[in-house]
Amino acid sequence: MKLTLSKINFINIFSIIVVFSIILGFFIYEFNQELYEKKVVSLEKSYFKKNKAIIKNEIERAIKRIEVINNLIYEKNESILKEKVSFVKNLFDSNKEKNFNIVLSKYKKELNLFKWDNGTGYFYIFDKNGKILYHGGNKKYVNTNVFESSKTNKELYDFLKETLILDENYGSYKWYKPNESPKEIFTKYVYIKKDEKYDVYIAAGVYKKEIDKKVQKLIFEEFKKDKFGDNKYGYFWILGLDKVMKMHALSPELEGKINNHVLSIKGKVLNDIAIKKALDGGGYINYKWIRPDTKKEDEKFSYVKLIPKWNLLIGAGFYITELQDILKEEKKSLRELSNEYLSKVFVVLIILITISLFIARYLSVKIHNVENEREEHMNMLKQYKLLLDRSSVVSKTDKDGIITYVNDSFEKTSGYNKNELIGISHKIIAHPDTPRSQSKKLWDTILKGKIWKGILKNKRKDGVSYYNSITIIPIKDSQGNIKEFISAGTIVTELIENRSKLKNLFKTDALTGLGNRVSLIDHISKQQNGTLALINIDRFKEINDSHSHVIGDKVITSLSDRLFRYFNDKGYDLYRLQSDIFALFTVNKDRRIDDINEFMNTLGKEPYIIGKETFILTYTCGIASNSENLLTYADIALTEAKNKKVKIKEYNNSMKNIEEFKNNLLWVERLHLAIKENRIFPHYQPIYNYKTGKIDKYEALMRLYLDGKIIYPNEYLDIAKKTKLYPELTYKMVEEVISKFSTNNYEFSLNLCIEDLMNEELMIYVFDYAEQKGVFKRMVLEIVESEEIDDSDYINKLLRRFKEEGVKIAIDDFGSGYSNYDYLIKLQADYLKIDGSIIKLIENDIRTQNVVKSIFEFAQKSNIKVIAEFVSNENIDKILREIGIDYAQGFYYGKPEAKLIDEIN
């Protein structure tokens, strides 16, 4: 069975995927196992570290609690002693007896009974001289001097000295304790206060040892109840430095005993190790102890630390097996997570294998398709080669230009056979007329790996020349190095030989045989000075339209004959540029206008008889001299002559020039961009109502934003009207203005010219949009009056339709040019706007004032409101008010702005 490349590729990819999947699966499994074991070890270390941290934190927290409780009780002790002393003082002071000894004897029995802290707490009283009047701890001190006793007790001496100054004091000193050895003194906390009434000092105190007993008792009770850790198996125990167990939360039977039989893991006495660790600032101990839940001996870690000032150490720990029980569950969860991860990895692997197989299959199909395409391409290449060999002259050379292959067409064209050509330089067919520069350029191009195209003049074996339009392509290897060159071409000998004939034909007018526009331009370009006249037949289109183009062509040929007969001997060259326009070029500066004028009045004026028809022609001529833009300026002169309705016009600088045309083109481009980028927008100028004294209407004026500046319509509107851009400007203004005033109650004016009014599609849009926005009653169409409007029934009907909906009509720039009073009546205008050119003269010219009065009186009789434009100062405003004008518009009341006045305010 023959294996195709696509099948071999599929088997290869499939084998690689299977082997790769097995290896990858094995490594993933091993990696997962190793990762699991590392995580177990890490988990054990983490739990062990966590529990060690917990017991250490609990011990630190317990010591802080002891300190807090100890400080609170010592602080409370001062308050308790103060209360006791105050009670006795108040008891004494409640007597009216002035003799203190009598008062003391009265309450001595009660004072003897008033003791605390196992009889170690008592009162004593002394007078200002230090004589002890009463002592509840030991009667032998009565009548002794406390000051004398303090001479050998510095703490007591300083305390008493301070008391005598302050009359009240709290502090400590060392003194003999009841029921203890008379040779040993103990720290005692005492409060003394002077009784002002009897001039004696009442003291009450308690021994530090008794306070510590209270604190320890409270602490022991608290810690016995305190449990901590994940399963609340953690507890506290307290050991004395004398190795006696002071408190054990779990085994109270151990309290008061020395347990030297308990050893550490290393076999040393646990008490000795614990005391050493505590004295060294705290540390961990490892030993075995009975676990409370299982009642079995278990390895345990504890942390011990010294309780400051008490010579006690406190400890707490955790059991190893307890940790292992917790870890067992964690390991189980970790194993499940690991297996789940492994399952997902294998699922992903299976998916990837499946996708890979699909990709392999897809690639195989693609390769199969490529194989088919390649086979098709090979077939096509064979056909292309056949076509190329049959239709083109083909050859191949090495890099030195030695021929290695030629086709049959090459043999036939060159006259050589293959045996004469193979192994010979391509120069064998080179024509000696071929420029060396062309050969050099050809070789420079192809040796750089580029394609060369051109026409080569070659020589046959028999010496006959022929032209070959040839393309030479470098053939490169996979590294991009040139191996050989192949060329293919077609024989264009006949085309080259006919080129000069075609060139002459290209420059000749087919109808008249005269030189055409191309010939004229070529001729002008070769002359430094000269005069060009363009002659145009007037109303020639009427001949074509009324008599047919055949007759028109005969008129053209007749005129060309007359022009040739008349001007040929006078040193003129004659050309036909287009349709009915002929050109005369001469370097003779004399009589150029006279010659043309004479032709128009003589030979050119004679009738043209075509068949049965007779035509009398008139002509218009434009002339230009000595300019680089001779043809353009002659055309401008011709246009100027037509506009001025004269026969001949010679170009001068007052006419439009090329810069003006360029400026027009520039403005067309600017307007295109402005419309596209929404830079056409309205400004609104307020119109002041003299009767109401308010602004109640606005005129919308077009503006263009260009390079940060506002451009006024006078710079571009006339240019826009000559293009199809003007309606787009009006559409933009209509949409912006009507939308603006649909949201307020102001009356507003839209400026429309004859071009707008004659644009039926535009006016339908204006009507429909105004109706949609509901602004008919407040809209004014402001129109510049002209003869075209006056004569147009269509415009009259259009404006009447708007007026029927409530729209008002205003006649703009009245008095500036064409002003027809009858038309105002016929149009039923609502407003008449007197042009600014009249209003600005009104303050200095009485005749202008009379003209304005006349216009106003006519308008008033015709029920037309008058708006004066260009009201620029107070004096003009005053005159207009005196005349009685209805409205004023100008800079005096407001410039055109993008916003309305109330929006600005």
φ and ψ at 140, to 5 degrees?
Answer: -70, -15
Strands (E), 694-819: 694-706, 709-711, 747-752, 779-784, 808-814
pLDDT of residue 763: 93
Distance CA 333, CA 339 (A): 10
Side chain identity, residue 689? N
For residue 484, give both structure tokens: 């050989």
Query: Looking at the chain, which residues constitute the CATH 3.30.70.270 domain(s)?
Result: 517-654
| Buried/exposed code over 810-823 (b: 16+ C-beta within 10 A; e: otherwise) | bbbbbbeeeebeeb
CATH of domain 213-319: 3.30.450.20
pLDDT of residue 884: 94
Q: Tell me the average confidence (pLDDT) per consecutive run of 10 residues in the chain, 905 residues long.
A: 65 76 72 69 75 86 87 88 93 90 90 87 92 91 90 90 92 88 88 94 92 86 79 81 87 85 82 88 86 78 87 85 66 71 76 79 76 76 70 86 87 85 86 81 86 86 85 87 88 69 67 88 83 92 86 92 90 90 84 82 90 91 85 88 90 70 76 86 95 94 89 82 83 93 94 89 94 95 70 81 94 69 74 91 91 90 92 94 95 93 79
| Buried/exposed code over 851-873 (b: 16+ C-beta within 10 A; e: otherwise) | bbeebbeebeeeebbbbbbbbbe
Query: Looking at the chain, which residues constitute the CATH 3.20.20.450 domain(s)?
Result: 668-889
pLDDT of residue 801: 93
What is the CATH topology of the domain spanning 393-491? Beta-Lactamase (3.30.450)
How many other CB atoms are there within 10 angstroms of residue 570's CB atom?
13
DSSP secondary structure, 246-281, as one string: EEESS-GGGTT-B-TT-BBTTSSBHHHHHHHHHHTT
CA–centroid distance for 282 within its chain: 62
CATH of domain 517-654: 3.30.70.270
CATH of domain 668-889: 3.20.20.450
Distance CA 104, CA 87 (A): 14
pLDDT of residue 216: 84
Distance CA 764, CA 766 (A): 5
Q: What stretch of H or E contains 186?
A: strand 185-195
Query: Looking at the chain, which residues constitute the CATH 3.30.450.20 domain(s)?
Result: 213-319, 393-491
- For residue 395, the cross-strand partners are 406, 487
